[in-house]
């Protein structure tokens, strides 16, 4: 399987859209629909899509626990590692990977804190509503 076919399969497993998956994999938009259909007809690609689609196997979808772990690390200001990747669009081959570390900015740390609080139900949306109406109260004391 070529790297481009692999990217197609991974995107298709996550979205179910052949044309968009072909475009995301680097195929030309003008023939993406046809390329998507061609790829879906190839048994080795379909087998890989089935493997990715198995419960708990889709590496493209992050679980909430993992997202909270990453947010916690950012909120604490821990060093983060990132990769900048240069890819040949024609072949899909990775030409260069540059790995670097950075310290999250105060804005990123604040956003992570808000994400953690929101996921744990810490923010409750409240609304104030004004109602203009007449109230008539009738008190009935029985037969007096």
Task: Tell me the domain boundaries of the chain.
Answer: 1-61, 62-122
> Are the CB atoms for 49 and 9 separated by under 8 Å?
yes
Q: H/E element holding 94?
A: strand 94-102
**Residue written as tokens 């409240």?**
126
CATH topology of domain 1-61: Arc Repressor Mutant, subunit A (1.10.10)
Nearest alpha-carbon partner for 11 in 82, 83, 59:
59
Predicted TM-score of the model (pTM) = 0.44
Residue 56 is given by DSSP the state: T
Per-residue pLDDT of the chain (144 residues; tens, 9 = 90+): 899 999 998 888 888 888 888 998 999 889 888 998 899 999 999 888 888 876 555 565 667 778 889 999 999 999 999 888 888 888 878 888 899 999 999 999 999 999 888 887 777 666 677 888 888 888 888 775
What was the pLDDT predicted at 109? 95
Residue 84 is given by DSSP the state: E
What was the pLDDT predicted at 88? 85
What was the pLDDT predicted at 87? 85
Classified as helix, coil or strand, 128 is: coil
Q: State the DSSP string of 109-120.
A: HHHHHHHHHHHT
H helices within the chain, ranges in order? 3-15, 18-25, 32-40, 43-53, 64-75, 106-119
What was the pLDDT predicted at 58? 55
């Amino acid at each position: 399987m070529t790297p481009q076919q692999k990217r197609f399969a991974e995107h298709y497993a996550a979205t179910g859209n052949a044309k968009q998956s072909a475009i995301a994999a680097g195929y030309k938009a003008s023939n993406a629909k046809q390329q998507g259909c061609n790829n879906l007809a190839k048994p080795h690609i379909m087998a890989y899509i089935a493997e990715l689609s198995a419960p708990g196997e889709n590496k493209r979808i992050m679980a909430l626990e993992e997202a909270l772990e990453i947010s916690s690390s950012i909120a604490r200001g821990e060093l983060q590692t990132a990769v900048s990747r240069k890819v040949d669009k024609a072949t899909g081959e990775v030409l260069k990977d540059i790995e670097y570390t950075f310290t999250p900015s105060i804005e990123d740390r604040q956003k992570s804190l808000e994400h953690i609080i929101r996921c744990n139900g810490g923010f409750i949306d409240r609304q104030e509503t004004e109602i203009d109406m007449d109230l008539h109260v009738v008190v009935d004391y029985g037969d007096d």
